[in-house]
Structure 1
Amino acid sequence: MLQTTQRLEWTAAGPDERLEYATLDVPLDYTDPGGERVSIAVSRLRAKDPVRRRGILLGVSGGPGGDGGQGRDLPGRLYDTPLADVYDLIGFDPRGTGASTQLCIEVTPTTAPFDSRPSDDVFTAMAADMYEREQGCRRAGGTLRPHINTRNTARDMDAIRAALGEDRISFLGYAYGSYVGVVYGTMFPARLDRSVLDSCVHPGWTWRRQFLAQAAAVRANVDRWSEWTARRDGHFGLGTTAHEVFAAVERVAARLEAQPHGTHARTSFDGTVGSLATDRSAWEKLGLLVGGLLAATGQGDAERAGTLLARHSTGGWGARANEQVRQSVLEAVTLETEWPADLETYYADMRKCREKYPFGHGVLRAAPWVGAFRTFESPEPPTVPARDGYPVGLIVQADGDPLDDHEGGVAMAELLGHHLITVEDSGDHEVYVLSGANPQLEAYVEGYLVDGVLPPARVSVPGAHPAPAIPED
């Protein structure tokens, strides 16, 4: 455990007037506590009902990469929940992100075309681009980059706890943040009280396997949409079987590719199909898009097809705020597990994704990663998750989560002995509050975190965004 007498000095100067802000200095390398320091930006929302206050609840949002540098915003996003009544809600930007000591980056040029179904001759260019990216990260990342990993983020959390003068924390983690909480509980079991893990990574997978599972999970959502659409052929006219509906999608992809600038159009289409298929409430929109594109491309109307694509594009392939920093931190964290050095391993998986999983970011999830060209070895092995002495917690997992597969939540619940809430027929990721109102889910999560009442060991709730109420044929 980190010993510290440092105390946080709070100020109202920050992006959310409801919160307080502070900065905590922690060791860059915890094996050298007297050496170089980095700063961790922290936020706090004081409990609204001090009489009922039961301590602090520390939240970690997704990543790796600190949710685009928005970690300090999380308490504000929970402002209207019962959690804000009884806990001081604590957020922070993980090391390397946001207002914390930020990882320096070097933007390297790319040569490979942006293609959801690249030909084999593009593979080597994609690998070369990633090699150059790793070299740029090495040059810019300096001494900080090797020390951006999950164990150090957990240690930073414990430094925040100590600086607040608290014996224990309760925890709410989303996506990668859920894994940070598991590692914290493994490293500091006496310091963890109640914990909710929302959208878990799989405890037994490397980062590479986690990425590959994302490609398959998006395709599973496309298949579910195909089945739903086939039962409503009178409305969509795409076929009466899932196979026929999916064949219609592939016809659109092939026709788009045959047009001028076809690779760009088909890649945009593949990305949009993946994004809309994961959102049950957008299933009608996707069906109408495919039908409209079938008609436009069948008539050779490239202009009409382009208009339809632009109108329905989800922007899923675009960059978000702080994208370069987020991506660089993501890459640094994922180097804590092993990556193949043999490029043919990646190429074989890319061929599979090109054929079976081209939607969303499918092929990119199989492509060579910076880990294939790593310029540093992690200073310590990753934590083997375990629960030894801290309370039984709660896991929330949507059955169609495209980023953290439902299988991961099941495996984490079994490993830790936690209770599992499955959000049924839902492609949501980061579900509690962040994916919209879901009264049944909220009752379970808040009943546990506020009152200590666990739901049954295995329970299901409906998703917050059901498919449109279109009658079946």
Structure 2
Amino acid sequence: MRSTRIPSLLAVALAATCVSTLTPANAVPLAHTDPLRPYTQRTPAWQRCDASSPAGFECATVKVPLDYGDPGGATMDIAVSRLRASGAEERRGVLLLNPGGPGAPGLSLPVDLATDLPDQVKRRYDLVGFDPRGVGRSSPVSCGLTADERVTDHPYRAATFEKDVTWARTVAKKCRAHGGAAAAHLTTRNTARDMDVVRAVLGEKKISYLGYSYGTYLGAVYAQMFPRRTDRFVLDSAADPTRVWRGMFQGMAEGAEPAFARWSQWTARRDSTYHLGTTAAAVRETFRDLVAEADRAPVATDGGPVTGDDIRAQHSRLFHVQKAAEWVAALKRSADDRKPEPDGTPRRGPAAAPTESAPGVPADNAEASAWAVLCSDSHTWPRDPERYRRDAVRDKARYPLYGDFASTITPCAFWKPAAEPTTTVNNEVGALILQNQWDPQTPLAAGRAMHRALRGSRMVTVAGGEGHGVYPFGSCADESATRYLTTGRLPAEDLTCRAPAGPAAGHR
């Protein structure tokens, strides 16, 4: 499973038509007619990223327009990194990498993945990472949010809903006031345009791509906007391009229920180990009782007190059956052993430490940039808070684990409407989609929807696979992905391979 908007719908729609396609298919653009030439003809000044990184890990800054409808105006810096291909004679080009998000930096991804990627891939590609616009070292945005305002998970409760509406309105207002012009131009379409500028600056006619989670949508949007510059695209743990973005969160809630049923069945067969119930129904009742008890009196953990809502917010844990059973059993033991203080109040663990951002990056950068993209990409966010209330009540009944979290109010209800329409992904560009059966963030149904939208794609499903992220982490899908990246050959048909017996070790 977040930005401001672009000013004039008509102006930007026209500019998008011109800038994203640039020239007719086979025409050679004239210098004076290419508005992006001042950006695409620059030579990046590569230098070692930092003293703690490998010597061959280089970084540079690429200039891009803030507003592609006004390429002669203000600019943004895009931080780019690379590890050169190890085989000069075998080199095919660049493999652009994106870790997901939105709001996640990707500058370190070449080094992060280098250990796991097969040598034959590293011989053929420069591994290229980047921080998307507004993120990390790429002209980072901030909304000036407090620690409380940065909290994104809000369960629905009638007594606190008005407070949640105030939170959502405040975040949107602060992002308008503090995010400035940059936040208004944080969209997936603009990030895709940035990717194409990076392609040109690197001197490549086409780019190959490995993107995870949100990065699959970014890759699909790039393929839609620049189909003739798309080489070998691997989309790992795919988002549903037809449900951007509110529907994506609701899809998480839908997918959590069958995962909960699977977990309860698995755990019931191991009652001698976990003591949570001898039947699936008994395990589910134990879990629900634990949630209710934690809502009455938070359970002490090493990370601080945990409420029932906190437990439900971590629904993704239930997709990893063994880890989830261990977690729930530990919570239950803590709840059972809880002793009241002399005044009758429950003991509480230490408060969780706040998440720290990288040096020079605003503390709220991840949240500010994420809301910018999520809110600006889509016109489907309702504007009426009462619609969110009704949907949250309905979805908490339908999907008790996470339904209300997914459907309640967000800052997008108060965001300025986006200037550009949501991208319709519908093309025949070749791509390989990789999907674990039990993915907590982008459920299997989402991967299948991406596959339908990219009609030239093939899909490899890891039956029994757990976790978010498939390649190159030892999955049975690794062989298909490596073959595609090194030879360009997609599987002749969609494939299903089986994860090893026992709980799989998902990437995330």
TM-score, scaled to structure 2: 0.81
Counterpart in 2 of 1:33? 71
Matches within 5 A, 1:209-228: 209-228=247-266
Counterpart in 2 of 1:367? 408
What does the per-residue CA deviation read over 1:197-221, in whole Å, with 9 as the maximum and x for residues that have no partner? 0111112113111111122323332
Counterpart in 1 of 2:159? 121
Confirm or deny that 1:58 pairs with 2:96. Answer: yes
CA 1:140–1:86 in structure 2 vs 1: closer, same or farther (change >3 Å)? same
Matches within 5 A, 1:46-85: 46-65=84-103, 67=104, 69=105, 71-80=106-115, 81-82=117-118, 83-85=121-123
Counterpart in 2 of 1:449? 485
Deviation, structure 1 residue 379: 2.3
Counterpart in 2 of 1:246? 284
Aligned equivalents of 2:44, 2:150: Cα separation in 1: 47
Counterpart in 2 of 1:471? none
What does the per-residue CA deviation read over 1:279-321, in whole Å, with 9 as the maximum and x for residues that have no partner? 2341441353365256436xx6799x989x969x9x8x97464
Deviates more, 1:285-294 or 1:164-173: 285-294
**Counterpart amino acid of residue 279 in structure 2:** T
Q: Which residue among 404, 407, 420 is the counterpart of 2:459?
A: 420
Counterpart in 1 of 2:495? 459
Q: Helix, strand or coil: the match of 1:396?
A: strand
Contact 1:341/1:372 (CA < 8 Å) preserved in 2?
Answer: yes
Contact 1:257/1:266 (CA < 8 Å) preserved in 2?
Answer: yes
Deviates more, 1:102-111 or 1:415-424: 102-111
Counterpart in 1 of 2:365? 325
What does the per-residue CA deviation read over 1:96-133, in whole Å, with 9 as the maximum and x for residues that have no partner? 00111111321157599998755302011001111011
Confirm or deny that 1:138 pairs with 2:176. Answer: yes
Confirm or deny that 1:267 pairs with 2:304. Answer: no
Gaps of 5+ in 1: 469-473
Matches within 5 A, 1:178-193: 178-193=216-231
Contact 1:10/1:22 (CA < 8 Å) preserved in 2?
Answer: yes
Deviates more, 1:171-180 or 1:209-218: 209-218
Counterpart in 1 of 2:390? 348
Aligned equivalents of 1:289, 1:109: Cα separation in 2: 28
What does the per-residue CA deviation read over 1:232-281, in whole Å, with 9 as the maximum and x for residues that have no partner? 33443433332221111111122233337899533343345x24312234
Confirm or deny that 1:379 pairs with 2:419. Answer: yes
Aligned equivalents of 1:152, 1:384: Cα separation in 2: 15
Deviation, structure 1 residue 464: 7.0
CA 1:53–1:117 in structure 2 vs 1: closer, same or farther (change >3 Å)? closer
Aligned equivalents of 1:33, 1:113: Cα separation in 2: 35
* Aligned-residue RMSD, C-alpha: 3.1
Deviates more, 1:99-108 or 1:116-125: 116-125
Overall identity of the aligned pairs, in %: 33
Contact 1:214/1:402 (CA < 8 Å) preserved in 2?
Answer: yes
Q: Which residue among 152, 162, 166 is the counterpart of 2:204?
A: 166
What does the per-residue CA deviation read over 1:22-49, in whole Å, with 9 as the maximum and x for residues that have no partner? 0011111111111111110000110011
Contact 1:201/1:408 (CA < 8 Å) preserved in 2?
Answer: yes
Contact 2:299/2:334 (CA < 8 Å) preserved in 1?
Answer: no
**Counterpart amino acid of residue 430 in structure 1:** G
Q: Helix, strand or coil: the match of 2:337?
A: helix
Q: Helix, strand or coil: the match of 1:32?
A: coil
What does the per-residue CA deviation read over 1:337-358, in whole Å, with 9 as the maximum and x for residues that have no partner? 1210111221123224544545
Q: Helix, strand or coil: the match of 1:426?
A: strand
**Between Structure 1 and Structure 2, how many residues are aligned?**
450
Gaps of 5+ in 2: 1-21, 23-35
Deviation, structure 1 residue 447: 0.9
Q: Which residue among 42, 47, 50 is the counterpart of 1:11?
A: 47
CA 1:73–1:47 in structure 2 vs 1: closer, same or farther (change >3 Å)? same
TM-score, scaled to structure 1: 0.86
Aligned equivalents of 1:13, 1:240: Cα separation in 2: 55
Q: Helix, strand or coil: the match of 2:184?
A: helix
Deviation, structure 1 residue 414: 1.9
**Counterpart amino acid of residue 6 in structure 1:** R
Contact 1:108/1:132 (CA < 8 Å) preserved in 2?
Answer: no
Deviation, structure 1 residue 135: 0.5
Aligned equivalents of 1:148, 1:116: Cα separation in 2: 24
Q: Which residue among 448, 468, 479 is the counterpart of 1:429?
A: 468
Counterpart in 2 of 1:157? 195
Contact 2:297/2:346 (CA < 8 Å) preserved in 1?
Answer: no
What does the per-residue CA deviation read over 1:120-161, in whole Å, with 9 as the maximum and x for residues that have no partner? 020110011110111000011111112110111111001001
Aligned equivalents of 2:482, 2:349: Cα separation in 1: 40
Q: Helix, strand or coil: the match of 1:467?
A: coil
Deviates more, 1:53-62 or 1:108-117: 108-117
Aligned equivalents of 1:53, 1:9: Cα separation in 2: 21
CA 1:198–1:125 in structure 2 vs 1: closer, same or farther (change >3 Å)? same
Contact 2:142/2:179 (CA < 8 Å) preserved in 1?
Answer: yes
